[in-house]
Amino acid sequence: MATGLPEPEPLLTLVEALRCLPGVGVRSARRMAYHLLQRDPEGALRLGAALNQAVTDLRHCERCNSFSQEPICSTCRNPDRDASLLCVVETPADQNMIEASHGYRGLYYVLQGRLAPLEGVGPDQVHFGQLMERASDGQVREVILATNFTAEGETTAYYLADMLRARGLNVTRLARGVPSGSELEYVDAGTIAWALMERRST
Ligand SMILES: [Zn+2]
């Protein structure tokens, strides 16, 4: 780290730790560290405890791969959900957006990633095998691909559609009301509800 002043070790360690956040370089990590220490030491302690607890207590649901405190999450255990529909999303944030649209009563599978060949993220890194197994449980009749409408999300949907169809599954994709290049997380609930209703076979 380029700095004229010698800084205490715990401060350097904190700055280094904050850099594990996406998009955070040395400069913003320093700003965060100064802010926490100077303006909000209580918040800093809460943050540390919450991080510790979340990392220790959370696991991936065995069925949908989202975060859960139980081996099977409450959504997957809910008997009122339609087990014949399986909606595939990239992240838990996307799952929340689809829930918020109130247009879907089926179950989910959360990829926790997407194919990104340019960044070296291939099918082995995203663990598609678990999804194939989940979709082939005999109850799923339709798999709805709700990956983002970005280049990576489209590539992922294309690849998954092939694999799922090869297993005899009916595959649909969200309708094109969602603007090209956009991430579901930033699309309004009404548009998502419409895109679900108007979904097309792939
Ligand atoms: Zn689950």
3-state secondary structure string across the chain: CCCCCCCCHHHHHHHHHHCCCCCCCHHHHHHHHHHHHHHCHHHHHHHHHHHHHHHHHCEECCCCCCEECCCCCHHHHCCCCEEEEEEEECCHHHHHHHHHCCCCCEEEEECCCCCEHHHCECHHHHCHHHHHHHHCCCCCCEEEECCCCCHHHHHHHHHHHHHHHHCCCEEEECCCCCCCCCCHHHCCHHHHHHHHHCCEEC
* pLDDT score of 50: 98
- Mean of pLDDT over the chain: 92
pTM, to two decimals: 0.83
In 3D space, the residue among 81, 86, 44, 49 whose CA is nearest the CA of residue 64 turns out to be: 86
Question: Which tens digit of pLDDT belongs to each residue from 5-26?
Answer: 788 999 999 999 999 999 999 9
Domains for the chain: give ranges and CATH numbers: 9-57 (1.10.8.420), 61-201 (3.40.1360.10)
Ligand 1 center–CA 53 separation, angstroms? 20
Ligand 1 center–CA 2 separation, angstroms? 46
More confident residue, 171 or 122: 171
Q: Which residues surround ligand 1, an ion (CB under 5 A)?
A: 61, 63-64, 73, 76
Ligand 1 center–CA 110 separation, angstroms? 9
Ligand 1 center–CA 15 separation, angstroms? 35
Pick the range with the lowest mean pLDDT from 33-37, 170-174, 182-186.
Answer: 182-186
Ligand 1 center–CA 64 separation, angstroms? 4
Band (pLDDT 50/70/90 cuts) for residue 1 is low
Ligand 1 center–CA 176 separation, angstroms? 27
Q: How many CB atoms are located within 10 Å of the residue 27 CB?
A: 9
Ligand 1 center–CA 77 separation, angstroms? 7
